[in-house]
Amino acid sequence: MTSTAERAAMLSRALRAAIEGDDSAIKDICTDDITAWTPALSTTSRDELMAEIARRDDAFSDVQLDLTPLEVGGEYACAEWTVTMRHTGPLALAEGATVDATDAQVTLHGVTVAEFRGEQICSLRQYWDELTVFEQLGLLAEQ
């Protein structure tokens, strides 16, 4: 069993690998049968997770991750995070719609919970408000 500090470091490595599209790190960090859920995806294997990461468009660049690991017991690790990125490419929306680059800086706050099996992550859940991105890009009507 890994220590709390080791689990936090592994979660941090996993989040950075997802942002960077580092398949080698994902293979090392995650079990074959990892389940992952976010507001934007749901997967039931490492291969599906890597395919979703690879499928991302190039809508955002200059992605910066600020991570604060939280103290959690048992087989879990948790981290609060802030991602800051610039909207520099077309953003694909539902039903084939796209939003042209705005060059807006977007800041997103969230939390990730990871469950471990031995030395690897077997489950990931991320929570954030997707509408925050749309609001910062000026896509939501003001009330």
pLDDT tens digits, 21-73: 899 999 999 999 999 999 888 999 999 999 988 887 788 999 999 999 887 88
Instruction: Please name the residue that has the structure tokens 């294997």.
Output: 45
| 29 is a domain residue | yes
| 141 is a domain residue | no
User: What pTM did the predictor assign?
Assistant: 0.86
DSSP codes of every residue in 18-52: HHHT-HHHHHHHEEEEEEEEETTEEESSHHHHHHH
Instruction: Give me the number of domains the chain comprises.
Output: 1
| 142 is a domain residue | no
| 38 is a domain residue | yes
> pLDDT class for 143, splitting at 50, 70, 90?
low
- Report pLDDT for 2: 66
Boundaries of domain holding 125: 4-136
